[in-house]
Every structure is written in structure tokens, then in C-alpha cells.
Amino acid sequence: MSLKIHHLNCGTMCPHGKRLIAGEGGWLEAAEMCCHCLLIEGQDGLVLVDTGLGSGDVERPEQLGRAFNLVTRPQLRLEETALHQVQALGFKPSDVRHIVVTHLDLDHAGGLPDFPDAKVHVFAPEKQAAIARSTFAEKGRYRPPHFAHGPQWVVHENDGEQWFGFDSVRAVPGSGDGVLLVPLVGHTRGHCGVAVDTGEGWLLHCGDAYFYHGEMVPEDPQCPAGLRMFQNLVQIDGRARKDNQVRLRMLVRDHGDEVKLICAHDPVELARFQAGAPVSAPG
């Protein structure tokens, strides 16, 4: 049975330097980046994959931190929050039973307080990093207001079965839906992809394992210089991140008909999936 999956933009960011970020446009022109989240109508209620920015971020932008606001220039529109979009589809916030996060960076976990009844599924090293905030960079990327409500954490260890050669963890046990955490560490200590069995194949939300659709072209991967520099700047483990990108490209090469990839911040990918016509492989 096919799942109904909504592709949501839960936060628009407009950093300067479109040529460096999108590979075209002016050097000082504003680029556009999204927060691509999934809303799954499942057998056990609604499942969110990432939350983007939340209503609290819109009302109190200072909780995101000065650096994030200055560099990314988030638009902070209430209508883009997952909460508003869930309600616009006719659901209640309590209908969101599970949230599966690729990682807990502020632009992926900002909406957690909007769904206090949901179980929040996370890879164990990521939750530990977000709570400890042991480095200066982690103090910036993990924001205490996003966790102050006391999320209903469901912490997963890396003890699942293999999935297309990747280690995996079944993230929503007993729900009847094939939703897996697929460890893709590097961007953060516990970064994961989230694989969803759509009934017609798999969709792998890669979070921030890559940022630009051209990075997943197996024959000739490309990434604009600004995004490449940003990924290098914020990574926790560069070797692991780059190794995982290679593995993802091989997944596209060998199983592109069975598995479709998306990342969190590429508006080109978001538009393709919202139009209902994703290509067989990124590019």
C-alpha cells in the first residue's frame, strides 16, 4: 500500500551570494534555500521527517542565534512552519504521532516544541551531542529552546539490519510503516538519513549529508563553491561525510530506480517532488 507523503518547505533562507550557492546568478544576489521536510500519512497517524523552523523561532528570532540569522537570513513565515501546514491540511498537532529527525540542528529541530505529544526518534550519538553541546560550534547549532519542553525522546542505537549496504535502524517500531534511520555521520556526530518505504520504492531523506542535487550525479558530481565551503566549515568528521557522499552516489548509480534521494536545503529538489515528477536520479 502506497503512503501519502507531503513534501513541505518548513523554512526559507535567503543568504547573499547566489552564484556561490546556486551556481548561477549574481555574486551579491540573494539565493534561496529551503527546509525540505516530509509529512507522512501513516498507519499510526502522522509522521514528520524533520520539522524545519518552528513557530517559536518566528515569534522569537533571537533564539536562533545572531550568527544564523545574519548568515542565512531566514524569512520566518508562520505559514511555512510544519505546525501551520499540518493544520492547513486539516489535521491537529496531536495527530503527529512520530517525528524522525535526520539530526538536531536548529533548522531541522526548531518545530519540535510545536508537537509536544509526538515521539521524537533520534540516533543516540545525535541526542547526546545536542544535550551536551560540548564545543563552541555545537553550542551554536543546537538551541536549548527547541528542547526545553522535554521532548518524548525515543533514542535508537545502531543495531538494525543492513539496508542497500548501509547500516540501518528501524525508527518507528510497530507503526506498520517502513521508516528507517540510516546513519550518515559526518555533518554532525549522529547525523542520519531517513528511509521511507513508499510502497512503490524507497525515498531517502539525506538531511545535510549533501546540499546540492549535482553532488549526487555519480559520473560527474558538482557543488557550488559556497556550499562546498560551508559543508567543510560545519562538518564534525570530514572524512566520514565525504565517504558517505561517495556511498550515496553509488546507491544512485546501482539502485536509482528503487531509491530516490533528497536533501534538506535544495529548492530544485523540493520543486521536483512537489510537482510530483522527481527524476530517476539527481542531476
Asked whether residue 281 is domain-assigned, the answer is: no
Asked whether residue 279 is domain-assigned, the answer is: no
Please state, as a whole number, how many other Cβ atoms lie within 10 Å of the Cβ of residue 175: 18
pLDDT digits (tens, 9 = 90+) for 190-239: 999 999 999 889 999 999 999 999 999 999 999 999 999 999 999 999 99
Which stretches in the chain have pLDDT values below 50?
277-283
Strands (E), the chain: 4-9, 36-42, 45-49, 96-100, 119-123, 152-156, 162-163, 166-167, 169-170, 179-183, 192-197, 202-205, 259-262
Residue 278's pLDDT is: 43
* Number of domains forming the structure of the chain: 1
CATH number of the domain to which 162 belongs: 3.60.15.10
Q: Whole-prediction pTM value?
A: 0.95
Asked whether residue 282 is domain-assigned, the answer is: no
Residue 174's pLDDT is: 60
Asked whether residue 151 is domain-assigned, the answer is: yes
Asked whether residue 19 is domain-assigned, the answer is: yes
Asked whether residue 283 is domain-assigned, the answer is: no
Residue 281's pLDDT is: 38
DSSP annotation of 52: B
Which residues form the domain of 234? 4-274
| 3-class secondary-structure state, position 238 | helix
